[in-house]
Amino acid sequence: MALPRIRVAAYVVRHRTAPELLVFDHVGMPEAGTQVPAGGVRPGEGLEEAVLREVVEETGLRGVTVLRLIGEEDKPHPDTGQPRRTSFFHLQAPPEGPDAWEHRVHGDGSDTGLTFACRFLPVPLALPLADGQDVWLGRVDPRWATGTDAGW
């Protein structure tokens, strides 16, 4: 049996008049769906270090802080079926900054060169995230639970 690919996913929340979650869509690829920053952990890299790197690489957003690990999920990749383990983290973003922006992905991953349309959405979300990425939102705040939440 193959070892799972180790990944991280980021629930980046900012608080203004109400809490908002950072999400993005692939520009020109609507079939990818709305997602949160996520990706693989590099050899020798800690999980918290990886989640902060993924946020910067995929959204350009800096100044976020890791608050806590929310949960871990063992789930095969939806396209390849390869095993993967994703650690979901709750992060906090500063309240200032734009509500929406486009970011060209930098780094050495498969997303490099793609453009992501980033934005903050109020929680609870009106629509589910791609690949069930909203599964752990209820662990950040029970009022944010979705029908795919791990606690349901």
User: What DSSP string describes 46-90?
Assistant: -HHHHHHHHHHHHH---S-EEEEEEEEEE---TTT---EEEEEEE
Domain membership of residue 150 (yes or no) is: no
Which of 149, 133, 145, 126 shows the shortest CA–CA distance to 58?
A: 133
- 41 CB-side CA count, 13 A: 21
Question: pLDDT (tens digit, 9 = 90+) per residue, 68-87?
Answer: 999 999 988 877 888 999 99
Domain membership of residue 145 (yes or no) is: no
* pLDDT value, residue 33: 94
- Computed over every residue of the chain, the mean pLDDT equals 92
Domain membership of residue 58 (yes or no) is: yes
| Count of the separate structural domains present in the chain | 1
Question: pLDDT (tens digit, 9 = 90+) per residue, 32-56?
Answer: 999 999 999 999 999 999 999 999 9
Q: Which residues contact 114 (CB under 8 A, 6 or more apart)?
A: 26, 27, 29, 104, 105
* pTM > 0.85: yes
Tokens at 80, concatenated? 């390849």
Question: pLDDT (tens digit, 9 = 90+) per residue, 4-36?
Answer: 899 999 999 999 999 999 999 999 989 999 999
Domain membership of residue 44 (yes or no) is: yes
Domain membership of residue 27 (yes or no) is: yes
Domain membership of residue 148 (yes or no) is: no
Domain membership of residue 149 (yes or no) is: no
The whole domain housing 60 covers 5-126
Domain membership of residue 142 (yes or no) is: no
Token look-up 């309240």 returns 95
Q: What is the CATH number of the domain that holds 49?
A: 3.90.79.10
* pLDDT value, residue 110: 79
